[in-house]
Amino acid sequence: MLDTHARKFVQPSIERTASYFLQKGRTANEITVLALFVGLATSALYVLGFPILAVLFLWISGFLDAVDGTMARNTKTSPFGTVMDITFDRVVEIGMIVAIAYVHPEVLWPLLLLSVSIIVSMTIFLVVGAVSEKAGIKSFYYQAGLAERTEGFVLFSVMLLFPPFLFWSTLLFFAVELFTGIQRFMEAKRILN
């Protein structure tokens, strides 16, 4: 939801950063890889006991994830770049869930439910993108929903910074993802029938 409706407020800084990297001869795929490593550093920092620094790295990773897409659209998008981008986003999320499970094994069941809801929601998102004839500014049909990448980062940040509420914040994240999956499924039925 925030990615779809609030992007216009941060897009100028994303554009400036994308232009800077392009002027320095960097490619969108290089920034995608950089975003992956910064995102994985989030998990390592959390396990090492630096939750505030972990959250900072998480948001830098997300910013770079937006920058790489802008770079690709300003040059030439590639199907493999899209695959890398979506795959690496999930790897960062998986890393976060594994790190939280390592530090807080008492919330394994809510984290498992969260993982399942992410898998279901992303499966619908990717399949609709693959079979839909609609095109957007991205290289596939982008299905908006209640939980997009920014909402996930907000909820991951809450999970990392407020361990006393981890059980409930994880269940909230699960409910938001599940709702998004249902929302996307209903939209798929409407646009693909």
The token duo for 24 is 């320095």
Q: Is the pLDDT of residue 136 over 60?
A: no
What percentage of the chain has pLDDT greater than the value 70?
A: 89
What is the pLDDT averaged over residues 122-144?
70
* pLDDT of the residue at 131: 81
Q: Is the pLDDT of residue 154 over 90?
A: yes
Q: Is the pLDDT of residue 135 over 60?
A: no
- Print burial letters for 140-150: b (CB count within 10 Å at least 16), e (below 16): bbbbebbbbeb
Selected residue with higher pLDDT from 144 and 13: 13
Residues 6+ apart with CB under 8 A from 77: 28, 139
Q: Is the pLDDT of residue 84 over 90?
A: yes
Q: Is the pLDDT of residue 6 over 90?
A: no
* pLDDT of the residue at 176: 94
* pLDDT of the residue at 2: 54
Q: Kindly report, residue by residue over 74-83, the tens digit of the pLDDT.
A: 888 788 998 9
CATH entry, 2-192, from 1.10.510.10, 1.20.120.1760, 3.30.1330.10, 3.40.50.150: 1.20.120.1760
What is the pLDDT averaged over residues 85-97?
95
CA triplet 173, 118, 48: central angle to 5 degrees? 70
What is the pLDDT averaged over residues 12-38?
95
